[in-house]
Structure 1
């Protein structure tokens, strides 16, 4: 039996039937994804109008609280002794210069002229210090308000940012405001926003990168929800009568091959500019502290896992292969090189200088780098600088009274005291026999008391319901917490948890959304007694959410004196040390 072009062979007919079945599977998967996306509110890209002024009000209140008496105490506290002076140095000279032994006294008195012309060896990248230097330049080196101004503004902006992130995750304007409000009244976030350290700047860029990953996922989800294979149009006729020129056998084979590839692996997802934005953000995070590298790795893994998940939901036959073939290399090139170039740009002041620390190392030491052009001589010098800084970091094991273990971070087991002064009666307005003035970086007890349960609930809900939202929150928490377990022998502190704070707040907020529940639908109105029971239970759950939020606000007000350094009786300070490890 012979076969013409219009009469395909049995093998080709079986292949086409198999392709048709796959096409229907993909259409069913894409349709299911469209329904799921619609019901999840993904198409509701516009938030209610009232949400934006509400977030601005919450952010404005957070700003007022952070800027109130920001200049107190008028002296360098805790690690401000490094970062404020380095901020002044970097902003004025492009790199860190050394200071004499008693430089803090001169700087506190408003005299930074004691700075020396020799370079200083530091182990953190310069970007955070550049940002601190902006506030010093605006208000003057003699104004302690200016020392802390930049971090206060950065901390305030993250309140608004987490509200937008919560909207993207939960599609609830109310819980977007809840997340912003909880962050604004968390003690860790509040104290860091009023102290000129690098960690809240690191947190801001990590949170921004997380936001861009969410935007990329929103774009990809919409793209896949609209997708059907380009050659699988159900309205397309394959009849020669309907076409001006019937396709040749070779053209049909090319078309079938293209359709098979698209069904097996899914479509290409285009430029994906939000991955580039995320790469810039993690590069800036690394430019503040190297621990931003963990966020880059975690968010890269999150992008891979999310790409596979989205292709699977869309009905792609081989989602893993689709991710590897379509997404992996383009996404890697958008994220990693972008982050690396951004990170190098943070060192521009050091690169352009002549006498910064280790800047002339390549010129003073013989090696393969001598063959590099002169304009690249800075590269091996910078590499050597990084090697020595890394050796310092991993070898830091000196004892410190406030060092802590990562196992206790999730419950604030050993918070860090940034400032403490003891006064006798009559000093600084002290009316008791003995008074205390303290700034303690301890999280809001309500938020952190719920944190371990929130993390556990997120894990359980992710496993049982396959809900992506708690998985994403846990990914952010893993990026900012888990890496520190590899350095348990190193000197580390609970104040590093400031980078975890937004993800702890999101985890608690997610659990509050579960507790809040949904109002019964119209069909339930046919059964009045059951509707009454549901309404009573729902009212109780929502009252519970309200009580938790009110308790968080009251706890913040109660701990306000030890967040801001107010002079209070020693007994009042002691009453706020709820755990003996807080002292």
Structure 2
């Protein structure tokens, strides 16, 4: 040990000094703040290019756009979903929006299977750009691009590495299912966005609240419970999770799971601070505020998403609308409850056969993707028979690698109590396991229902890449080899994505080339 006459050097003292309470509870993030934004923004621009390029192609209604594009247009006109003509021709919708209402609107309100929030978001694009393919897909592409930015930032916060944060964003940007759902006016990309945004808020709150707790514990703690800590980020998380629930009811699973997770985090923080009564302190000081911030805020957000139906007459199941605007929310609640019972009955009795339906155990291995769009034009590819397809499938190099990464995280959580592994595993199983219950009843379901699981698959992979590379202080050959292997994996993912790109975006390709892309017969 290098010493002077006065004792150990300052550098040696810093290396052996025990961490402060603040460092112990909330380690600092890397100091490259400028690069921490430049890198993610570059990845986000790349993701946006992939999503907005040729966004109006195909010039046709793709898969369930036949419901959501029309519902969004009805929300703009009426404030609630209204029946439209059955014909799915894009030109009919476009002309109907610009000309006589009789060209598109049928009689009566429309019964819908999902809450309005996601369709309101789609409607923003139609309001700006009109009822065209670009208009109704615009917000999906925007939200898909922004989710990549959020992924970069939350992965950086969880790994302490800007490089790994950018790697996470890149993986999400080049996943096939994420790309397809970002280029289609369906609801699942919005559910994923709000869940990821809510999760990011909770992770940010974890860091901030532990720093505040450490600062407040500089003095004596007389009661052993610890101080009260205000969790401002959780209010924003409640808003995001409320929007997820108001897009699809599956958001409720994440609301419940994340509510339990943050309470466990609070208990862990007070225990790490060596308080005498950490669990009682968390229950007394954190549980009720967490319930209000997450559950109550989410509930208010959810009900607010129905405001068009609540305040206007004519919606499906909406009774007499009071002349007093202030009374309308109260008189609407019984009707809204009956509406929800009807929607619940629809979902629990939906057993219609569909050629592209799949079961939850198929999803991790990409057993049965969904053909959103397929035609066989006679020209356009330089061959006698061509194919154009939008195949809703994940990038296999991501999905299959995620299975191994998730198993590794099970080990990290059980043997090392790594909070990151536990949070990622919780996010994954929350989006997956509930569907097994519905599979027992043979409910119709599809691979794109797994879209909310995607961010947690990517986080699992990136966390394992970080373990492979090793800590920054390790300058040996292991780190060089680990970095090379991680880089090679990212190149494999990019190559896999580029290979699939033509069948993700309706490119004209020879039929034989299309057939070569169908690795499994179940992909057809």
TM over 0.5: yes
Q: CA contact under 8 A between 1:188 and 1:444: conserved in structure 2?
A: yes
What's the counterpart of residue 382 of structure 2?
Answer: 431
Q: Residue 7 of structure 1 aligns with which residue?
A: none
Q: 5+ unaligned residues in a row in structure 2: which ranges? A: 1-17
Given candidates 423, 434, 438, the residue that maps to 1:487 is: 438
Residue 213 of structure 2: aligned partner:
224
Alignment of 1:358-369 (within 5 A): 358-360=317-319
Q: Output the CA distance in 1 between the equivalents of 2:446 and 2:328.
A: 42
Q: How far apart are 1:118 and its partner, in Å?
A: 1.4
Which of the residues 267, 274, 278 maps onto 1:308?
A: 267
Q: 1:519 to 1:55 in 2, by over 3 A?
A: closer
Alignment of 1:205-244 (within 5 A): 205-228=194-217, 230-231=219-220
**CA 1:374–1:458: 2 relative to 1, 3 Å:** closer
Q: Distance in 2 between matches of 1:338 and 1:345?
A: 11
Over 3 Å counting, the alpha-carbon distance change for 1:231 and 1:54 in structure 2 is closer
Q: Given the alignment of the two structures, is residue 95 of structure 1 paired with residue 80 of structure 2, yes or no? A: yes
Question: Could you give the per-residue CA deviations for residues 324-376 of structure 1, whole angstroms, max 9, x where no partner exists?
Answer: 1121112112221111111111011111111110111799xxxxxxxx96662
Who is 2:312 aligned against? 353
Matches of 2:20 and 2:349, distance apart in 1? 53
Which whole-Å CA distance do the structure 2 matches of 1:67 and 1:90 have between them? 24
1:158 aligns with 2:147: yes
State the aligned residue count: 497
SS of equivalent residue, structure 2 residue 185 = coil
Deviation at 1:399, TM superposition (A): 1.0
Gaps of 5+ in 1: 1-29, 233-258, 364-371, 522-533
Partner in structure 2 of residue 560 of structure 1: 501
Q: CA deviation at 1:494?
A: 0.5
> Would you say the 8 A contact 2:311–2:328 is kept in 1?
no
Indicate the SS of the match to 1:430: coil
CA distance in 1, matches of 2:306, 2:480: 55
Are 2:424 and 1:473 equivalent residues in the alignment? yes
Question: Aligned to 1:387, which of 330, 341, 359?
Answer: 341
Distance 1:561 1:281 in 2: 34
SS of equivalent to 2:391:
strand
Moved more, 111-120 or 50-59: 111-120
RMSD in angstroms over aligned alpha carbons? Answer: 2.0
Matched, 1:120 2:92: no
- SS state at 1:289 partner: coil
Give 1:89 shift.
0.7
Separation (CA, whole Å) in 2 of partners of 1:180 and 1:111 = 39
- Which of 400, 408, 422 is the matching residue for 1:449? 400
Aligned to 2:24: 36
The partner residue of 2:358 within 386, 396, 404 is 404
Call closer, same or farther: CA 1:291–1:229 in 2, change over 3 Å.
same
- Within 5 Å, give how 1:126-275 maps onto structure 2: 126-141=116-131, 143-228=132-217, 230-231=219-220, 259=222, 261=223, 263=224, 265-269=225-229, 271-275=230-234
Conserved? CA contact 1:134–1:150, under 8 Å: yes
Quote how far apart the aligned CAs of 1:310 are. 1.1
Contact 1:74 1:108 in 2 (8 A): no
2:6 is matched with none
Give how far 1:33 is off. Answer: 5.0
CA spacing shift, 1:93–1:46, aligned 2, 3 Å? farther
Answer whether contact 1:37 1:43 (CA < 8 A) is retained.
Answer: no
Of residues 81-90 and 310-319 in structure 1, the stretch that sits farther from structure 2 once superposed is 310-319
Task: After TM superposition, give the deviation of residue 228 of structure 1 in Å.
Answer: 2.9
Following superposition, the deviation at residue 539 of structure 1 comes to 2.0
Aligned pair 1:496/2:449, yes or no? yes
Change (3 A) 1:381 1:145: same
Q: Secondary structure at the match of 1:206?
A: helix
Report the Cα offset of residue 277 of structure 1.
1.0
What is the CA distance between 1:567 and its match in structure 2?
A: 1.1
Question: Which stretch of structure 1 is more off in the superposition, 403-412 or 150-159?
Answer: 403-412
- 1:415 equivalent to 2:375? Answer no
Aligned 1:287-326 pairs, distance under 5 A: 287-326=246-285
Kindly state the Cα deviation for residue 422 of structure 1 after the two structures are TM-superposed: 1.3
Instruction: Calculate the TM-score normalised by the size of structure 1.
Output: 0.82
3-state SS of paired residue (1:50): helix
Instruction: Give the distance between the partners of 1:422 and 1:103, measured in 2 at CA.
Output: 19
Post-superposition offset of 1:108: 5.4
Q: Contact 1:362–1:380 (CA<8 Å) still a contact in 2? A: no
